[in-house]
Amino acid sequence: MKVRTTRLPGVLVVEPDVYGDERGYFLETYQAEKYRAHGIEATFVQDNHSFSRRGALRGLHVQYRRPQGKLIRVVEGAVFDVVADIRPGSPSAGRWFGLRIDGSTHHQIYVPPGYAHGFCVLSETVHFEYKCTDYYDSGGELTVAWDDPVLGIDWPIDRPTLSEKDRRGLSLAEASAFLEAPPPP
C-alpha cells in the first residue's frame, strides 16, 4: 500500500494494494498494523455506510464534543471528497483539500479529529463508507457552510442537493468563534 501526504497536516491519501484477475479483485480495506506503520494510529469504534444520489452534497461536518477521525472510502460510484481545516489557531486553518475518489481506484482518505469533512456525488449513485474513531454525538456536531467564500472550495457542482442541516451551515468565522468557546455539554 502507498500513503501520500496532503497539504493539510495529518490528512493522508491511502492507496491500498489491489489484487485482481479474471475473477475480480481483492483488497484489504483496513489492517491495523499496516495503517499504524504509515502513521494512522487511530482506534476505530464505529463504521458508517451512506447511500446518495448524483448531485447530493453532504457536509461540511465536524464533531466538537467527541471529535472523530475518519477513514473514508467509496465502495461503488464516485465522489469529490473535501477535508477543511477549521481548527482555531491551526497554521493551516481555512485551507481545504479535495480529491475525486471512486470505487474503482479504492483510494481512501484519513481525516484526523478536528477537521470538517464533506463530499458531493459525481456518479448516478454512491455507496460511501467510513470508519470513525469515536461515536457519533448528534448534539455535538457542527456544520460549516459548503459554499463559505473564505474557504472557497472548488466544488465540481453548482446547485447541489442539500439537507436542511447543510443548508443552514455556519460561516467559517462563526464556526471558528464557536469552536474557540463551545457551550458546556
Whether residue 48 is predicted with pLDDT greater than 80 in this model: the reply is: yes
Q: Give the pLDDT confidence score for residue 183 in this predicted structure.
A: 67
Going from N- to C-terminal start, the domains of the chain cover 2-18+27-180
Q: What is the largest CA-CA distance in the chain?
A: 57
Closest CA to 64 of 113, 3, 123, 1: 113
Q: Is the dihedral of CA 127, 14, 116, 156 positive or negative?
A: negative
Contacts by residues 181-185 (CB-CB < 8 Å, ≥ 24 positions apart): 182/64, 182/65, 185/65, 185/140
Residue 38 annotated among the catalytic residues of the structure: no
131 phi and psi angles, rounded to 5 deg: -90, 145
| Residue among 30, 38, 61, 127 flagged as catalytic | 61
CATH architecture of the domain with range 2-18+27-180: Sandwich (2.60)
Q: Give the pLDDT confidence score for residue 50 in this predicted structure.
A: 97
Q: Give the pLDDT confidence score for residue 185 in this predicted structure.
A: 65
Radius of gyration of the chain (CA): 16
Residue 61 annotated among the catalytic residues of the structure: yes
Q: What is the DSSP letter of 71?
A: E
Output the average pLDDT for the chain: 96
Q: Give the pLDDT confidence score for residue 70 in this predicted structure.
A: 98
> What is the tens place of the pLDDT at every residue in 53-80?
999 999 999 999 999 999 999 999 999 9
Q: Give the pLDDT confidence score for residue 181 in this predicted structure.
A: 78
| Residue among 35, 110, 115, 130 flagged as catalytic | 130
Q: How confident is the model at residue 97 (pLDDT cuts 50, 70, 90)?
A: very high
| Cα gap 78→54, rounded to integer Å | 9
Q: Give the pLDDT confidence score for residue 37 in this predicted structure.
A: 96
The residues with which 74 forms a beta bridge, in sequence order, are 128
| Cα gap 24→22, rounded to integer Å | 6
